[in-house]
Amino acid sequence: MTMRPMTYMPPVMFAVVAVALALGLLFVNPKEIPSALIGQPAPTFDLPSVDGTPHGLSSADLMGQVSIVNVFASWCVPCRIEHPLWVEVGASGEVPVYGLNYKDSQENASQWLADFGDPYTAIGADLNGRVGVDFGVYGVPETFVIDAEGLIQLKFIGPIDRFALENEILPKVRELQALMVADGAE
């Protein structure tokens, strides 16, 4: 029958779509939501400290070196999941990790840090969430990588896992640190 090859068209076409989807899973990173803030200066702010930590956080702290800003809160369960990884990064000293304590109460936040560890170089208490809003935070946790000029270079939404930390966040930090050294040498 001459019709026979026609019925093979659907599986062949589906094979093409399936290959495209597989490649998409391999190479397209869905979490890399293009943010209007990438390449933009981090917002200007000056926040008080969380009770029991030595100093607060201001935008001036983010200048002069590559840094990570992690938005967290004691009420946020996924923050607990990612927190051990930040404790690890904080202990390594590779890059300063700043905390933005988003819409939290002072006592809950300090209790939370006492329970789970404080990896942060400094923490700003964003009690009413205004600075978080300036950062474009729409879910907690969120993580920003900020370069030496204070420009936001990467935004990560949701809790980080080891894969994201080692394949996305730390490589970005190292790339920016290398760039800073190169700029300094000029």
Partner 1 sequence: MVAELGHFALILALVMAVVQGTIPLIGAQTRSAAWIAVARPAANAQFAFVAIAFAALTYSFVVSDFSVLTVAKNSHTLKPLMYKITGVWGNHEGSLLLWILILTLFGAAVAWFGTNLPPGLRARVLAVQALIGVGFLSFILLTSNPFERILEAPFEGNGLNPLLQDPGLAFHPPFLYLGYVGFSMAFSFAVAALIEGRVDPAWARWVRPWTLAAWTFLTVGIVLGSWWAYYELGWGGFWFWDPVENASFMPWLAGTALLHSAIVVERRDTLKSWTILLAILTFSLSLLGTFIVRSGILTSVHAFATDPERGYFILGFLVLVIGGSLILYAVRAPALKSGGVFAPISREGALVLNNLLLATATATVLLGTLYPLLLDLFTGKKVSVGAPFFEATFFPIMAPLLAAAVFGPMLPWKRGDLMGAFQRLRVAFFLSGGIALAVWAFVSGGTWLSTLGIALGAWLVAGSFASLAERIKLLRAPLADSLRRAIHLPRSAWGMTLAHAGLGLFLLGGTIMLTWQTESIQVMRPGEVITVAGYELTFQGVGDVPGPNYMAERALFSVSRDGEAFTNLLPEKRAYVSSGMPTTEAGIKATWAGDLYAVIGDADGTGGWATRFFFKPFVHWMWIGASVMVLGGVISLTDRRHRVGAPARRRKSATGAAPAPQMAGE
Q: Cα separation of 30 and 12, whole Å?
A: 27
Is 34 among the residues that bind partner 1 (CB under 8 A)? yes
Q: Which is nearer to partner 1, 17 or 182 (CB)?
A: 17
| Residue 36: CB minimum distance to partner 1, A | 13
By CB under 8 A, residue 36 contacts partner 1: no
Residues 6+ apart with CB under 8 A from 10: none
Q: What is the 3-state secondary structure (H, E, C) of 15-49?
A: HHHHHHHHHHHHHCCCCCCCCCCCCCECCCCEECC
Is residue 75 involved in binding partner 1 (CB under 8 A)? yes
Rule CB under 8 A: is residue 22 a binding residue for partner 1?
Answer: yes
Each residue 102-141 as x (binds partner 1 by CB under 8 A) or -, in order, gives: xx-------------------------x--x-----xxx-
- 33 touches partner 1 (CB under 8 A): yes
State the Cα–Cα distance between residues 134 and 112, nearest whole angstrom. Answer: 25
Burial class (CB in 10 A: 0-12, 13-18, 19+), 28: exposed
* Tokens encoding 93: 């000293």
Give contact residues for partner 1 (rule: CB under 8 A).
1, 3-4, 7-8, 10-11, 14-15, 17-18, 20-25, 27-28, 30-31, 33-34, 73, 75-78, 80, 102-103, 129, 132, 138-140, 158
